[in-house]
Amino acid sequence: MLFLRFLTLFLGAQDVVVSTSAYSKSSYSSVTLPRPEGRSDWHHEQFQQLYLASLDPQAQTNFGYWCGPTIGGYCGSMSFDDINTNTVTHVPFAFASITSDGTVSYEYDQGSVQQYNSSILIAQGTMAGLSLGGSGTDADNCLENIDNCVTTLGKTLGYYESVGSPFYFVDSDFEKPKDAQQMQNLITFWTMFNEQFPGYLITMAPECAYLWCGAANWPYNSYVPVVNALGPYGANIIYKINAQSYNNWCSNSPAGTAQFFEDVATTWITACPSTGYQGLESNPEIFGLGVLAADKDGDGYASPSIVVEALQWIGGTYGSYNGMFWDTLTDLENNWIISNGIASAVPQGSAAPTRAPTSHSPTSHPTIAPTSPTGQPTSNPTSPTGQPSLAPSASPTVMSAPKSDSNTIALLIYCGAGLVGVIAMCSIAAYVVRKRTGSVFGFFPQESYRPVSGDYANADDESQLFMSGSSSVAHSEHSKRSGM
């Protein structure tokens, strides 16, 4: 009976939501998220493994924006070959289209859904997400039509679940904050989305200028209420904030320098009493440093060595080595030096990988000639053209998250069932022998099972001893002698 109870408790524990107490720096209270409607078991298992791995306090996320042939934004990418899946952990697809009434859609105007199936990426340990906004999008299209924006975003996500090409996180790159009311609308939007679609991670890619510790003109400090309300000291629903550290003045140091990047990290991670900003110090791994993949992508490009220097300082000081870059195509054209550089910033042996490295190498990818943006502005995260890349996964050397050992569980079940069968057979045999011979294997005479005194001392039917009313002494004696 003890064994069966242990087996029941053990198997039952497999369904218990695991606490993140082991991941004290995680922004989430549970390592499981509900599976969105329509998502396959395989897709959700892959997502859960990567998500769990990313919760390791020493894991690194590396976001790279992919700007493919869509109605919402096109920057030249025509395949996933420009994504460095060896080191990039998260890929926001830039961008969804949002009409003036808040209707969200994501459609390819070249190629097919299956050609750009996110299963190709998740199989290599890279998580795909859908990004809203970009420099060419009017944020009010969504934020003044929140109900329709949330509803149609959910339908778009549902469609891609149904065709086996899921998005696992939703990113916002709403630029040019208009006023305080718009920021309140942004808080309402994400709160409503999280309530209706809790199975998706939430990431943001704000420009670094949206926070400043001190008095400053708008839009500086426009994100104080947003991070306070949705961050670790508020609703705690933000997975990553990848600050675009380019195209804006965010430091007294020159853009593109290590000191500039370090100043941005300090501004976003640490609290600022004078503005009421609560910061991210309890969960610094929410922060990611957004950089440019190429000089032509915007103002403030930094060489990989400078990016590495800054990330190592940020990681050593605050504990976050997370990075993001715009975009994957220009990263490929520069032989993936930025995505590889971000990954190399983590000290050897200190970060948990997010998945197994693939055999991809830059030279194996077709040369994709950069085409100038047709129709849509270069969908970069900042006003010029650089969209940050969200990061919900783990370290640069991607690892797979811990899995439950199904073989061990099966073995326990079989062993448990076998043991129960043996015990049952032995009990039946002992009972038959006892009835016929008056003893059990010749050792214990039948009388010894009866209490020395009590209402059932002279009972003819031994089964009466363990009905209601039998003495506790008789029961304990029986237990001792039977060896159970």
If DSSP states are collapsed to H, E and C, what string results for 448-476?
A: HHCCCCCCCCCCCCHHHHHCCCCCHHHHH
| CA gap 170, 145 in Å, rounded | 18
Average pLDDT over residues 394-407: 36
Per-residue model confidence (pLDDT) at position 418: 57
pLDDT: which is higher, 430 or 193: 193
Polymer length of the chain: 484
| CB contact at 8 A, 395 and 355 | no
- Tell me the per-residue pLDDT of 266-295, one tens digit each, with 9 for 90 and over: 999 999 999 999 999 999 999 999 999 999
Average pLDDT over residues 158-164: 98
Average pLDDT over residues 211-233: 97
| CA gap 354, 357 in Å, rounded | 9
| CA gap 62, 315 in Å, rounded | 14
Q: Out of 95-99, 332-336, 447-451, pick the least confident.
A: 447-451
Average pLDDT over residues 363-391: 33
**What's the per-residue H, E or C state across 167-226?**
CCEEEEECCCCCCHHHHHHHHHHHHHHHHHCCCCEEEECCEHHHCCCCCCCCCCCCCHHH
Structure tokens at 299: 């103002």
Q: What is the CATH number of domain 17-364?
A: 3.20.20.80
**In 3-state terms, the chain is what percent helix, strand and coil (to 5)?**
40, 10, 50
Per-residue model confidence (pLDDT) at position 424: 57
Average pLDDT over residues 177-188: 97
- Tell me the per-residue pLDDT of 25-70, one tens digit each, with 9 for 90 and over: 334 445 688 999 999 999 999 999 999 999 988 899 999 999 999 9
Per-residue model confidence (pLDDT) at position 353: 42
| CB contact at 8 A, 370 and 76 | yes
- Tell me the per-residue pLDDT of 168-180, one tens digit each, with 9 for 90 and over: 999 999 999 999 9
Per-residue model confidence (pLDDT) at position 3: 33
- Tell me the per-residue pLDDT of 409-433, one tens digit each, with 9 for 90 and over: 444 554 555 555 555 555 554 444 3
Portion of the chain with pLDDT greater than 70, in percent: 65
For the chain, what is the mean pLDDT?
Answer: 76
Domain with CATH 3.20.20.80 in the chain: 17-364
Structure tokens at 314: 């940020």
Per-residue model confidence (pLDDT) at position 307: 98
| CA gap 68, 221 in Å, rounded | 32
pLDDT confidence of 469, banded at 50, 70, 90?
very low
Residue 444 has pLDDT above 50, yes or no: no
Strand pairing report for 439-440 and 444-445: antiparallel
Per-residue model confidence (pLDDT) at position 468: 33
pLDDT: which is higher, 447 or 380: 380
Residue 392 has pLDDT above 80, yes or no: no
Q: Which residue has tokens 């009421």?
A: 276
pLDDT: which is higher, 287 or 447: 287
Q: Shortest CA distance to 398 belongs to which of 360, 351, 362?
A: 351
Structure tokens at 379: 């969908």
pLDDT: which is higher, 422 or 480: 422
